[in-house]
C-alpha cells in the first residue's frame, strides 16, 4: 500500500482536495447565487445538500478503501508465493583423503599416471583453478597431469641429470558440496571465485556456466591449486548467484582465504557465514 500511495501521490492529493474543498464550495455558492429562473432555485436546505455530498464522499472513500485493501492483499499474496518458492544455497565442506599411488615409485609401471581409490571423490564438472598471480579460472575438468597430482597428493617424478627424482608440491584440493535447501528451484545458477571486488573485464572466466538447481540437488565444487606459493596468499570471494522462478535475482557471498601459519605452512579457510541478499527485483505488472 505504501508503494501504491508513493506512486500515486499527486492523484490522491487532487482527489482529496476536490472532494473536501471544491465540491462543498461549489454547492455553497449555488445556494447563494440567483440564476434568473424559478425552476433553478433550489428547494433543498443546506443540510440536505451537505448530507448528500457527505454520502457521495463516504461512498467514494469506501470504494477507495476496498481498492487499497485488495491491492494490499494481492501484494501480500505475491510475497507469500515468492517466500514459498525461494531458493537458498547451503555450502558443505568435504574432506579429501588421498592415498598415495605406490606405483608412482615404479617408473616403468603403466599405472603410474592415476590410481583412483575409494577415498578419491569423483571429479565433477566445476573446478576453480587458482594460478600464481591469484587469477582464478572456472573449468569443467582437470588435465591428466593435474589429476595425477591429485591422486598422488602432490608427489610427482621429475627428471634431473638423466634420473627421475620424486618431488612434491603444495597441492590445494578443496572439495565443496553446494545444495539447494530452499523451497524452490534456483534458475540461472552460477558460482564464481575471484578477488573482491569482482571485475568482469579483468577476470571474465571466473564464473561457472549457468544451470538450474532443483530443491535438494547437490553440486560438487572443487578449488584447486597445483602448487601454492606466496602470490596465492590472500582473501577470495565465492559468489553464488541465482534467480527464483519469478525472475528475482539473489546472491550469497562467502569468504575463502589462503594463508601461512607460524611454521610457514600453507592453509586454506572457508567461512560459511554467507547470507542471502536480493540483487534485483523482477518488474511486475498489476
Going residue by residue through the chain (286 aa), what tens digit of pLDDT does each one get?
566 667 777 877 787 777 777 777 776 676 666 666 665 566 666 677 677 677 777 877 787 788 778 877 777 767 776 777 777 676 655 555 555 554 444 444 444 444 444 444 433 468 999 988 888 999 888 888 898 888 888 888 888 877 888 888 899 999 888 888 888 888 888 999 999 888 877 788 889 888 888 888 888 889 999 999 999 999 999 999 999 888 889 999 999 999 999 988 999 998 888 778 889 888 765 4
Angstrom distance (rounded) from CA 243 to CA 87: 8
Q: What pLDDT was estimated at residue 29?
A: 72
The pLDDT, as a whole number, for residue 46 is 65
Could you count the other beta carbons within 10 Å of the beta carbon of residue 37? 7
pLDDT of residue 113: 46
Predicted local distance difference test score (pLDDT) of residue 251: 93
Q: Phi and psi dihedrals of 57, rounded to 5?
A: -60, -40
Q: Cα separation of 181 and 204, whole Å? A: 29
CA-based nearest residue to 251, from 214, 207, 204: 207
3-class secondary structure per residue, 14-82? HHHHHHHHHHHHHHHHHHHCCCCCCCCCCCCCHHHHHHHHHHHHHHHHHHHHHHHHHHHHHHHHHHHHH
SS3 for 194?
strand
Q: How far apart are CA 47 and CA 120, in angstroms?
A: 91
Q: What is residue 122's predicted lDDT score, i.e. its pLDDT?
A: 38
Q: How far apart are CA 106 and CA 224, in angstroms?
A: 26
The answer to whether 282 and 246 are in contact (CB under 8 A) is yes
Q: Which three cell numbers stand for residue 164?
A: 627421475
Q: What is the pLDDT of residue 103?
A: 47
**Residue 285 pLDDT:** 53
Amino acid at each position: 500500500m505504501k508503494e501504491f500511495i508513493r506512486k500515486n501521490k499527486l492523484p490522491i492529493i487532487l482527489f482529496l482536495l476536490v472532494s473536501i474543498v471544491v465540491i462543498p464550495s461549489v454547492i455553497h455558492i449555488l445556494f447563494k447565487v440567483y440564476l434568473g429562473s424559478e425552476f433553478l432555485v433550489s428547494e433543498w436546505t443546506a443540510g440536505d445538500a451537505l448530507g448528500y455530498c457527505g454520502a457521495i464522499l463516504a461512498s467514494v472513500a469506501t470504494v477507495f478503501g476496498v481498492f487499497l485493501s485488495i491491492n494490499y492483499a494481492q501484494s501480500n499474496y505475491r510475497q507469500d508465493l515468492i517466500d514459498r518458492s525461494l531458493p537458498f544455497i547451503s555450502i558443505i565442506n568435504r574432506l579429501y583423503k588421498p592415498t598415495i599411488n605406490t606405483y608412482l615409485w615404479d617408473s616403468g609401471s603403466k599405472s603410474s599416471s592415476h590410481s583412483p581409490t575409494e577415498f578419491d571423490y569423483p571429479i565433477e564438472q566445476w573446478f576453480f583453478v587458482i594460478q600464481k598471480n591469484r587469477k582464478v579460472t572456472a573449468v569443467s575438468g582437470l588435465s591428466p597431469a593435474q589429476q595425477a597430482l591429485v591422486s598422488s597428493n602432490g608427489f610427482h617424478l621429475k627428471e634431473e641429470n638423466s634420473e627421475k627424482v620424486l618431488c612434491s608440491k603444495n597441492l590445494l584440493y578443496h572439495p565443496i558440496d553446494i545444495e539447494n535447501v530452499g523451497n524452490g528451484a534456483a534458475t540461472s545458477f552460477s558460482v564464481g571465485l575471484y578477488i573482491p571486488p569482482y571485475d568482469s573485464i579483468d577476470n571474465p572466466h571466473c564464473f561457472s556456466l549457468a544451470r538450474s538447481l532443483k530443491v535438494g540437488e547437490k553440486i560438487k565444487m572443487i578449488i584447486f591449486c597445483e602448487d601454492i606459493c606466496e602470490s596465492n596468499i590472500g582473501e577470495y570471494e565465492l559468489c553464488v548467484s541465482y534467480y527464483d522462478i519469478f525472475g528475482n535475482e539473489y546472491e550469497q557471498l562467502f569468504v575463502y582465504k589462503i594463508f601461512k601459519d607460524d611454521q610457514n605452512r600453507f592453509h586454506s579457510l572457508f567461512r560459511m557465514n554467507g547470507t542471502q541478499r536480493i540483487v534485483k527485483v523482477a518488474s511486475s505488472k498489476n
